[in-house]
């Protein structure tokens, strides 16, 4: 186990957090924590922005040093006491001094989350090809570390820049340079860092939301950290309970669902992430409804995971806006000015969550106590208000207390933030134009389409995934409604649910009450920012039941659910943490009051919360017990492969890694749907584990560049391995190939048709072990 590397990364994280704190504290001045939990994400975004732009000219350690210099300059400008500095005393400004207890508890959360993930990865560290995108993620990290400019060359499509969101991998590369860590260790250390940032951000945001409501901040933060970092959906407890039912009733309730015995025998950590399915024309298509524990347990370092801490940073900016009164217009504008920069970061890091950055900003503006119109230039704001008054006059409702006048005011609240956020999104899109131009013009086909009614999720599927959150939010929102209206509201919700299921629009049975009641209590009752996050998550759940992105990564909405449900989970996990703390606080007060009706609720709520914690922890208990069972010597080496990898192939990979330079290009069998297929260990193994580009790698490239471009290359590569010397020479010269790889993938794909390059001029075997041969090409000796 590489304990020193763990300590080095913790030290670097601590140093970056210290440097990021002044900016975080200025942004989150009204937070109880002063933004301590967001100091590290703030620091990384601050470094990332200059590195991203300068990297288009040159990328490497000096570029990263320049990014750190920008962070140091901002930290000094915002954090140091200027009067003391003039006297030679570089100390922190008095208004930035943080509560030491808050700093300590935040540090404990981060270190605990980091070490928890380190323990998980240390017994399963390999970036193997099966069951995920580790080849893609590790290859992206390696290609960045080999690259001299940004974007890096595509390691699965030599000679072309990568057309995938690589911003999170760029963060990992920056951390790799700062820590001086070998890439094979940096992968798992960075993965643990992203997880720890997510859990810490959830803790910080929820604790501040809870504190703003007068609720126990630590309790709210702790529950948010649990829901985001460890809890699962209800699929596992559901399968356990199904096993207790009579077979006939079980099959009628959940046909085809495999039950789970109380012993956990037969448990697979995979099943809970495959609950939502699309059923069309008699065929069933799985989607991927991930949650953080599954994703990090699986060990990919994928974009939708790396973007989550920064999505919560956007949510925290929204909360800062929500708290800032209307008379502090300059501060509100300063907070808004940060949003496009974070939007740029999120576009390049996880494009799928880019709309959510601006969606949560919109909700924060529309639902905050402060009037959004006050953010407009004075003249524009006056014209907007005058237009509203004229509309009210024309309706004969000039009295501000009239219902129609209030409705016009609410309409203004809806439309003005839409214009503001639209302008901010346009700025972010302009800043990201080079990246967007590359991804949108690569030849891939993506269309937004309506989901067929038959494919929409059923009520049981939705409850299995979201049920724990729905119970918490239902109790939370009912508590915001007057007691004499709760029964009528409950009956209305039941009626809406029955109608939604009949239509069929089952999702509305859950999300419509959350959206409507959440919006109303935010505007007219006693509610706070956790309800904004409830509305945000409900909106996302609703959207993916009606529209989806039709693309190569299908079928149907597989990828849409995959990339969206993680965002829903982190929004709702934070909201649930603050809401549970509030529910327990009210229950405690009820017990102390000893009022008989309230006493029952005071006892029932803690019991219900305990039941939710247990039911959402069963997955983690089963998954971790299986994960650590029979583990061997722990290591963080991502290239420490399982026993089913061929040692000769790995030795060849190591040889290539040591001998390749920034200009090296190889050719290997393409990873198409045939042999070897994608997710096979031998498919594009050399390019994926070294970052050295191959002419045609995995068929993921169809989604990035379109089928014509990819399969034309794949056919040319096939011709190199099976065709004439002239065909091989043509491809080698076109792509300036230095090495030809012949291993398990090539022998499996081409069989007896594989040419013997040793019999041809211009090919010299430079690595030979087992069935693996690597040939160095001398282009001048090849036929014209």
Query: pLDDT tens digits, residue range 752-763?
Result: 999 999 989 999
SS (H, E, C) 392-411: HHHCCCCCCCCHHHHHHHHH
Residue 178 and residue 64: Cα distance in Å, rounded?
A: 8
Instruction: Give, in order, the Cα–Cα distances in Å from 150 to each of 52, 64, 135, 232, 265.
Output: 7, 13, 20, 37, 48
- Is 612 or 549 the better-scoring residue by pLDDT? 612
Rounded to a whole number of angstroms, the distance between the first and last alpha carbons of the chain is 53
pLDDT, tens digit (0-9, with 9 covering 90-100), for 75-97: 999 988 777 767 777 777 778 88
Domain residue spans of the chain: 3-229, 261-289+446-628, 647-781
Q: Give the pLDDT of residue 331.
A: 95
Is the CA virtual torsion 580, 581, 586, 591 positive or negative?
Answer: positive
Q: Give the pLDDT of residue 748.
A: 92
Q: Give the pLDDT of residue 398.
A: 47
Contact 241, 616 (CB under 8 A): no
Q: Give the pLDDT of residue 502.
A: 80
Q: Which of 362, 308, 272 is nearest to 573 (CA)?
A: 308
Residue 154 and residue 395: Cα distance in Å, rounded?
A: 61
Residue 124 and residue 635: Cα distance in Å, rounded?
A: 8
Q: Which letter does DSSP use for residue 326 in this model?
A: T
Tokens of 370: 């402060």
Contact 148, 60 (CB under 8 A): yes
User: Is 597 a residue whose pLDDT tops 70?
Assistant: no
Contact 592, 614 (CB under 8 A): no
Report the run of H or E that residue 741 belongs to, with start and end.
strand 739-742
pLDDT, tens digit (0-9, with 9 covering 90-100), for 477-512: 888 777 767 677 777 777 877 887 888 898 998 999
485 CB-side CA count, 13 A: 8
Q: Which of 534, 540, 530, 485 is nearest to 513 (CA)?
A: 534
Q: List residues bridging with 671 in a β-sheet.
A: 698
Residue 366 and residue 237: Cα distance in Å, rounded?
A: 38
Q: Which of 598, 727, 663, 542 is nearest to 159 (CA)?
A: 663
Q: Which of 227, 198, 314, 221 is nearest to 582 (CA)?
A: 221
Tokens of 687: 């390019």
- Is 500 or 545 the better-scoring residue by pLDDT? 545
Q: How confident is the model at residue 441 (pLDDT cuts 50, 70, 90)?
A: low
User: Range with the lowest mean pLDDT among 62-71, 238-247, 441-450, 533-542?
Assistant: 441-450
Q: Give the pLDDT of residue 485.
A: 72
Tokens of 610: 């305990």
Measure the CA angle with vertex 540, ends 534 and 543; round to 5°.
140
Tokens 């974070």, residue? Answer: 342
What is the gyration radius of the CA atoms in the chain, in angstroms?
28
Continuous H helices in 234-307? 235-242, 247-253, 292-298, 303-306
Q: How confident is the model at residue 741 (pLDDT cuts 50, 70, 90)?
A: very high
Residue 109 and residue 87: Cα distance in Å, rounded?
A: 37
Instruction: Count other C-beta atoms under 10 Å from residue 164's C-beta.
Output: 21
Tokens of 489: 């509201």
The average pLDDT across 232-258 equals 84
**DSSP-derived secondary structure for 682-700:** TTTHHHHHH---BSS-BTT
User: Is 446 a residue whose pLDDT tops 50?
Assistant: yes
Omega cis (within 30) before 676? yes
pLDDT, tens digit (0-9, with 9 covering 90-100), for 254-285: 777 788 888 888 899 999 999 988 877 777 88
User: Is 536 a residue whose pLDDT tops 90?
Assistant: yes
Report the run of H or E that residue 763 belongs to, with start and end.
strand 763-769
User: Is 234 a residue whose pLDDT tops 50?
Assistant: yes
Name the average pLDDT for the chain.
90
Instruction: Count other C-beta atoms under 10 Å from residue 36's C-beta.
Output: 26
Q: How confident is the model at residue 400 (pLDDT cuts 50, 70, 90)?
A: very low
Contact 509, 458 (CB under 8 A): no
Tokens 């704001």, residue? Answer: 381
Tokens of 748: 């499996």
Q: Where does 647-781 sit in CATH, by number?
A: 3.40.50
Continuous H helices in 324-402? 329-349, 354-367, 378-394
The average pLDDT across 150-163 equals 94
Contact 118, 13 (CB under 8 A): no
The alpha carbon of 382 is separated from its chain's Cα centroid by a whole number of angstroms, namely 40
Tokens of 710: 């990819």
Q: How confident is the model at residue 386 (pLDDT cuts 50, 70, 90)?
A: confident
- Is 399 or 683 the better-scoring residue by pLDDT? 683
Q: Is 692 left (phi over 0), alpha (psi -120 to 50) or beta?
A: beta
| pTM of structure | 0.95
């Amino acid at each position: 186990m590489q304990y020193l590397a763990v300590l080095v990364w913790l030290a670097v994280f601590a140093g970056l957090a210290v440097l990021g704190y002044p900016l975080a504290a200025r942004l989150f001045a009204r937070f109880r924590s002063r933004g301590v939990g967001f100091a590290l994400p703030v620091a990384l975004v601050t470094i990332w922005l200059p590195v991203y732009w300068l990297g288009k000219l040159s990328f490497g350690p000096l570029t990263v040093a320049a990014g750190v210099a920008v962070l140091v300059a901002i930290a000094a400008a915002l954090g140091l006491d200027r009067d003391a500095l003039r006297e030679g005393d570089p100390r922190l400004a008095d208004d930035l001094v943080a509560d030491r207890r808050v700093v300590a508890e935040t540090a404990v959360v981060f270190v605990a989350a980091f070490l928890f993930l380190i323990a998980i990865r240390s017994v399963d560290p390999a970036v193997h090809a099966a069951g995920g995108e580790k080849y893609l993620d590790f290859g992206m990290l390696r290609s960045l570390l080999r690259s001299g400019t940004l974007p890096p060359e595509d390691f699965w499509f030599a000679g072309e820049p990568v057309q995938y969101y690589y911003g999170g991998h760029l963060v990992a590369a920056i951390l790799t340079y700062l820590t001086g860590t070998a890439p094979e260790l940096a992968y798992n250390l960075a993965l643990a860092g992203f997880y720890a940032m997510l859990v810490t951000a959830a803790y910080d945001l929820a604790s501040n939301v809870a504190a703003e409501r007068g609720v126990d901040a630590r309790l709210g933060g702790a529950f948010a950290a649990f829901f985001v970092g460890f809890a699962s959906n209800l699929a596992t407890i559901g399968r356990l309970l199904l096993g207790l039912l009579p077979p006939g009733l079980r099959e009628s309730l959940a046909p085809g669902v495999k039950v789970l015995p109380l012993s956990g025998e037969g448990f697979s950590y995979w099943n809970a992430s495959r609950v939502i399915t699309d059923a069309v024309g008699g065929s069933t298509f799985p989607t991927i409804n991930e949650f953080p524990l599954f994703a990090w347990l699986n060990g990919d370092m994928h974009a939708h995971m790396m973007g989550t801490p920064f999505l919560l940073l956007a949510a925290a900016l929204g909360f800062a806006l929500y708290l800032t009164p209307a008379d502090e217009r300059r501060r509100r504008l300063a907070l808004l000015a940060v949003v496009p920069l974070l939007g740029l970061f999120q576009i390049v890091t996880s494009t799928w969550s880019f709309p959510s950055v601006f969606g949560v900003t919109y909700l924060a503006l529309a639902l905050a106590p402060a009037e959004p119109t006050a953010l407009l230039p004075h003249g524009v704001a006056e014209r907007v208000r005058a237009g509203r008054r004229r509309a009210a006059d024309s309706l004969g409702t000039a009295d501000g207390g009239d219902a129609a006048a209030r409705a016009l005011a609410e309409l203004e609240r809806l439309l003005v933030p839409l214009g503001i956020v639209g302008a901010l999104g346009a700025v972010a899109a302009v800043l990201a134009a080079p990246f967007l131009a590359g991804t949108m013009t690569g030849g891939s086909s993506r269309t937004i389409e309506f989901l067929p009614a038959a494919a929409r999720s059923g009520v049981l599927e939705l409850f299995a995934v979201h049920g724990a959150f729905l119970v918490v939010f239902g109790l939370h929102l009912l508590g915001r409604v007057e007691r004499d209206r709760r029964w009528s509201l409950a009956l209305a919700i039941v009626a809406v649910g029955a109608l939604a299921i009949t239509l069929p629009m089952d999702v509305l049975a859950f999300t419509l009450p959350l959206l409507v009641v959440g919006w109303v209590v935010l505007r007219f009752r006693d509610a706070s920012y956790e309800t904004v996050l409830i509305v945000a998550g409900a909106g996302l759940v609703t959207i993916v039941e009606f529209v989806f992105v039709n693309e190569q990564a299908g079928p149907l909405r597989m990828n849409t659910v995959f990339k969206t449900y993680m965002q829903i989970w982190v929004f709702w996990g934070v909201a649930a943490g603050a809401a549970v703390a509030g529910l327990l606080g009210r229950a405690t007060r009820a017990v102390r009051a000893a009022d008989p009706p309230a006493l029952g609720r005071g006892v029932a709520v803690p019991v219900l919360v305990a039941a939710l914690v247990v039911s959402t922890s069963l997955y983690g208990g089963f998954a971790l017990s299986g994960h650590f069972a029979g583990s061997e010597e722990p290591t963080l080496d991502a290239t420490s492969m399982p026993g089913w990898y061929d040692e000769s192939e790995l030795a060849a990979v190591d040889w290539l890694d040591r001998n390749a330079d920034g200009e090296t290009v190889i050719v290997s069998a393409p990873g198409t749907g045939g042999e070897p297929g994608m997710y096979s260990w031998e498919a594009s193994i050399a390019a994926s584990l070294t970052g050295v580009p191959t002419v045609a790698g995995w068929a993921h490239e169809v989604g990035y560049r379109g089928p014509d471009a990819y399969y034309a290359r794949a056919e040319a590569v096939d011709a190199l391995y099976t065709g004439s010397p002239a065909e091989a020479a043509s491809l080698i010269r076109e792509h300036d190939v230095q090495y030809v790889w012949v291993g398990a993938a090539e022998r499996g794909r081409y069989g007896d048709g594989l040419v013997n390059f040793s019999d041809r001029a211009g090919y010299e075997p430079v690595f030979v072990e087992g069935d693996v041969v690597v040939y160095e090409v001398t282009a001048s000796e090849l036929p014209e």
